Structure 1
Amino acid sequence: MDRPVAKILITRPREGSERFALELAQAMPCPMPVLISPVMEIAPLPDLLPLDHVKGLIVTSQNGVDVLVQKTDRRDLPVYAVGARTTATAKEAGFKARQMGEDAEELVEAILRLGPKTPLLHLRGEVARGDVAQRLSTHGILTREKVVYAQTPCNLTPEAISLLEGTSPVVLPLFSARSARLLAQQVSGGAPRYVVAMSWAVASELPHGWAKTIIIASRPDSPAMADGVASLFDGDGFIVTPEIRG
């Protein structure tokens, strides 16, 4: 009996999906069909960026760096970033960036240990996790926050819905809890779904039984997500593992 070849569906915002698709191509054991259908898009907000008296900036995603590049020519402020890629992007843009962990929890702990000059300003989206500014301020590191980009929900494309409601396996890398929630709201039953989630918090947004398999990435970063997706496939593009692990 023939085994159906799985397809990969990436639901990140368009630019992030395209970056991850390129990264995934390097990690996969063989070329695989990839479909991009964002469940939300990122749009910078028109507000000015209030940097007067600010002594340092916090960015917890590449979206924050992108907005920073658009909004200011200043490169004198230290930037405290989450993740290697966000840090690298900030450095490439000319900022004095320093990686402070892989997630908001590690960032808060690292900044508390560092004890930087204050006040700090956290640039974030409309929807954010971790209460970074509040937690830092509570522990004596005065931090304000500024919402600098919107995260607008999008409908899945007809092709993506057909894929998710079909019979062939679908592999879904999910990077955020909100993406997981928006995805599950649009599609219920259907194809056997193999989810690679960035964290248990992401996976917990999926209804029980929505996915056949859930893998939690070994680290909350893009390379680990690509490795998690690749681990599901053999050299011919067939799914090789049915278990839930993380």
Structure 2
Amino acid sequence: MAGARAAPRVLVTRAEEDGRRTAAALEDMGFAPLVAPLIATRATGAAPPPGPFDAVLITSAKAAPFLSEAPVDIVAVPVFAVGARTAEAARAAGAQEVRIAEGDAVALARLVAASLPKGARLLHVAGEDRKPEPAESLARAGYDVVAWAAYRAAPTPLSEAARAAIASGAAGGALHYSRRSAELFVAALEEAGLADRLPQLVHASISPDAADPLRKAGATRVFVAPRPEESALLRTFADAASVAFGAEWPQAR
């Protein structure tokens, strides 16, 4: 359309590899993504706990590459994954019997309780910075959950391209996949002297927990996906963007 402004950029703040996949999905929807990782996955080097284990739990796809180092036979032992994306990563890592929960850690605990007898010993391949669930629910239900902090989410600086897009107003929105990355995003804008831009962006968050740091920092256009899944997050963002920017993103409407 003659005279139409360029589509605002969408900041994708997740780790590089995941961010590229999300960027491709955004492009298919008609958006102009800018991958701006704030987190990179790094191995902790911590030795895995001694086995045996009756099953493995993974609450993030980032845990999947470490399954080969776990003290279990992932061909023979069931792997319980928090959602479909995590299950896909577990299968790619060689897991054969993968059972899929409904997208959150509490649902994962329910799935384990419905599948395994009490007293089962479970290995949770996890990040260094992890939430209490599903371990708390499973411990109360009589399971022995042993966590192995195999990786950490190391912060990385916000790229020059992302800072420039925010400063110039070229960036119109941002996607947030965890509370940690949302906190890092707020801190990065404050450090760059761009905190006043936070309310101008359309933010889509994977969960209420991820949205909380944004709202506390003054963001006013924060939208939460109805389910903790990327497809729901992208749809939530698309709906919010169509209202906020209208014809500037015609393909996303």
How many residue pairs match? The answer is 238
Residues 194-213 of structure 1 mapped to structure 2, 5 A cutoff: 194-208=202-216, 210-213=218-221
Provide structure 1 residue ranges, at least 5 long, that are not aligned to the other structure: 242-246
1:219 matched to 2:220? The reply is: no
Change (3 A) 1:133 1:73: closer
User: 1:8 & 1:45 partners in 2: Cα distance?
Assistant: 31
How far off is 1:124 after superposition? 0.7
Indicate the percent of aligned positions where both proteins have the same amino acid: 24
Structure 2 equivalent of residue 172 of structure 1: 174
**TM-score w.r.t. length of structure 2:** 0.84
Tell me how far apart the structure 2 counterparts of residues 109 and 167 of structure 1 sit (CA, whole Å): 45
TM-score, scaled relative to structure 1: 0.86
Q: Which has the higher contact order (CA 8 A, sep 6+)?
A: 1
1:189 alignment partner in structure 2: 196
Which residue matches 1:45?
Answer: 44
C-alpha distance in structure 1 between counterparts of 2:69 and 2:15, whole Å? 18
Which residue type is aligned with residue 204 of structure 2? V
1:10 to 6, 9, 12: 12
> More displaced, 173-182 or 17-26?
17-26
Note if contact 1:3-1:238 (Cα within 8 Å) is conserved in structure 2: no
Task: Work out whether residues 6 and 239 of structure 1, in 8 Å CA contact, stay in contact via their aligned partners in 2.
Answer: no
User: What's 1:76 paired with?
Assistant: 76
Query: Once the 2 structures are TM-superposed, how far is the Cα of residue 47 of structure 1 from its aligned partner?
Result: 3.1
Do the aligned residues in 1 keep the contact of 2:27 with 2:33 (CA within 8 Å)? no
Residue pair 1:177, 1:202 contacting (<8 A) in 2 also? yes
Compared with structure 1, are the counterparts of its residues 72 and 163 closer, same or farther at alpha carbon in structure 2 (3 Å cutoff)?
A: farther
More helix, by proportion: 2
Residue by residue over 1:144-199, the C-alpha shift from the partner in whole angstroms, topping out at 9 and shown as x without a partner, is 11100011111101221122233345211101011101110111112620011111
Q: 1:220-246 deviations in whole A, cap 9, x for unaligned?
A: 1111122223322456526999xxxxx
List alignment gaps of at least 5 residues for structure 2: 190-194
Structure 1 contact 37–160 (Cα < 8 Å) conserved: yes
After superposition, where does 1:74-153 map in structure 2 within 5 Å?
74=73, 75-95=75-95, 96-116=97-117, 118-153=120-155
Compute the displacement of 1:92 (Å). 3.2
How far apart are the structure 1 equivalents of 2:27 and 2:7?
16
User: Within 1, Cα distance between the matches of 2:149 and 2:216?
Assistant: 33
Measure how far apart 1:69 and its partner are.
3.7
Residue in structure 2 matched with residue 244 of structure 1 by the alignment: none
Letter paired with 2:142: G
How far off is 1:87 after superposition?
0.9
